[in-house]
């Protein structure tokens, strides 16, 4: 096992200090190769904040309760707030390499929020990068050497870590939004192309790997309509065109736009327009 760490004023005791917005209390790293297990157990948590970065391998975290076991793999940050239950283990079999930093201050929560780290976030994927490791190593060195203005440098390094994390989170949100927009646009096009067939919204959602409720909710946010409302609106728009411009019977028009039952078509048409198909035809001529 390899261990390297540094502590503010050489004190191993966690502390809370609100005299400044942000203060780094300690920083360190563990690499587990031969030692079979390295456990941490703090049922009452700590009074400061902590961030752990899994640089390689994996670590086991038990959030909220001992029986919970969440495997956090390389490229993830774990955030602990003051007084949160802490239990986690590193195993040699996982070849775990972890960095950690403890910090406190009078404005920590708002600072984290400003970088996109919300209060309910515990595990944040940021990717494996030597840049993260360099920041942690620099913080360890600053705590060990205590060069002039090192406390200020520690804060700058920690903010550098927050900035990189915030950028990664923002990038993920952009990618997620791009994916969402692409999927909803694809769905809208599919409904446009197949509006006059027997479309199953449930089957479509499942074919795209989405839950039905998630798909309906996001489709409505994208178009302003539920999928069913969207399909009906297309059918009604095309039925109006056919009623205005052709001599097809109401029954024929109903079938063209996707309704085999003419009575059902007439009922839906009246509900959507306030007129029966025949009344609409007379008024439009």
Reported confidence tier of residue 28, pLDDT bands at 50, 70, 90: very high
- Homologous superfamily assigned to 195-285: Homeodomain-like (1.10.10.60)
Q: Which whole number is the average pLDDT over 218-241?
A: 94
Q: Which whole number is the average pLDDT over 241-268?
A: 95
Whole-number pLDDT of residue 155: 98
Burial of 42 (0-12, 13-18, 19+ CB in 10 A): middle
Q: Which whole number is the average pLDDT over 222-249?
A: 94
77: which strand partners? 53, 124
Give the global pTM: 0.66
CA distance 261 to 249: 13
Q: Which whole number is the average pLDDT over 274-281?
A: 93
Reported confidence tier of residue 160, pLDDT bands at 50, 70, 90: very high
Angle, CA of 63, 69 and 75, to the nearest 5°:
80
Evaluate if residue 170 carries a pLDDT over 90.
Answer: no
Domain range list for the chain: 2-172, 195-285
Whole-number pLDDT of residue 174: 73
Which residues lie closer than 8 Å to 215 by C-beta, 6 or more apart? Answer: 187, 201, 204, 205, 208, 227
Reported confidence tier of residue 126, pLDDT bands at 50, 70, 90: very high
- Same CATH topology for 2-172 and 195-285: the answer is no
What's the topology of domain 2-172? Jelly Rolls (2.60.120)
Cα 230 from chain centroid (whole Å): 28
Q: Are 88 and 61 in contact (CB under 8 A)?
A: yes
Whole-number pLDDT of residue 178: 81
Evaluate if residue 285 carries a pLDDT over 80.
Answer: no
CA distance 215 to 236: 23
Whole-number pLDDT of residue 34: 77
Q: Which range has the worst mean pLDDT, 18-27, 146-155, 275-284?
A: 275-284
Whole-number pLDDT of residue 173: 77
Which residues lie closer than 8 Å to 194 by C-beta, 6 or more apart? Answer: none
DSSP H helical ranges for the chain: 108-114, 130-145, 150-194, 201-207, 212-223, 227-245, 250-256, 262-273, 277-283
Q: What are phi and psi of 182, to 5 degrees?
A: -65, -45
Q: Which whole number is the average pLDDT over 63-81?
A: 94
Reported confidence tier of residue 283, pLDDT bands at 50, 70, 90: confident
Reported confidence tier of residue 1, pLDDT bands at 50, 70, 90: confident
Q: Which range has the worst mean pLDDT, 19-33, 125-139, 145-159, 163-177?
A: 163-177
Q: Which range has the worst mean pLDDT, 159-168, 172-181, 191-200, 229-238?
A: 172-181
Q: Tell me the pLDDT of the chain averaged across its residues.
A: 94
Whole-number pLDDT of residue 82: 97
Residues 50-78: b if buried by 16+ CB within 10 A, e if exposed = bbbbbbbbbbbbbbeeeeeeeebebbbbb
């Amino acid at each position: 096992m390899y261990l390297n760490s540094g502590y503010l004023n050489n004190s191993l005791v966690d502390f809370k200090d609100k005299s400044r917005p942000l203060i780094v209390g300690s920083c360190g790293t563990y690499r587990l190769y031969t030692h079979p297990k390295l456990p941490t157990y703090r049922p009452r948590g700590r009074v400061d904040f902590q961030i752990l970065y899994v640089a390689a391998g994996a670590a086991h975290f038990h959030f909220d309760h001992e029986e919970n076991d969440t495997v956090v793999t390389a490229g993830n940050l774990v955030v602990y707030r003051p007084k949160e239950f802490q239990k986690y283990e590193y195993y040699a079999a996982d070849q775990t390499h972890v960095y950690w930093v403890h910090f406190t201050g009078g404005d920590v929560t708002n600072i984290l929020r400003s970088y996109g780290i919300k209060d309910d976030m515990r595990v944040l994927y940021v990717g494996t990068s030597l840049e993260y490791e360099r920041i942690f190593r620099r913080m360890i060195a600053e705590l060990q050497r205590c060069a002039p203005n090192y406390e200020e440098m520690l804060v700058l390094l920690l903010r550098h870590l927050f900035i990189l994390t915030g950028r990664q989170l923002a990038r993920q949100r952009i990618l997620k939004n791009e994916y969402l927009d692409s999927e909803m646009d694809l769905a809208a096009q599919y409904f446009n192309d197949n509006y006059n067939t027997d479309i199953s919204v449930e089957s479509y959602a499942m074919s795209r790997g989405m839950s039905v409720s998630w798909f309906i909710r996001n489709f409505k946010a994208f178009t302003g309509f539920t999928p069913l409302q969207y399909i009906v609106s297309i059918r009604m728009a095309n039925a109006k065109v056919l009623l205005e411009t052709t001599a097809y019977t109401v029954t024929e028009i109903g079938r063209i736009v996707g309704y085999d039952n003419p009575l059902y078509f007439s009922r839906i048409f009246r509900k959507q327009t306030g007129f029966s198909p025949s009344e609409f035809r007379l008024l439009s001529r």
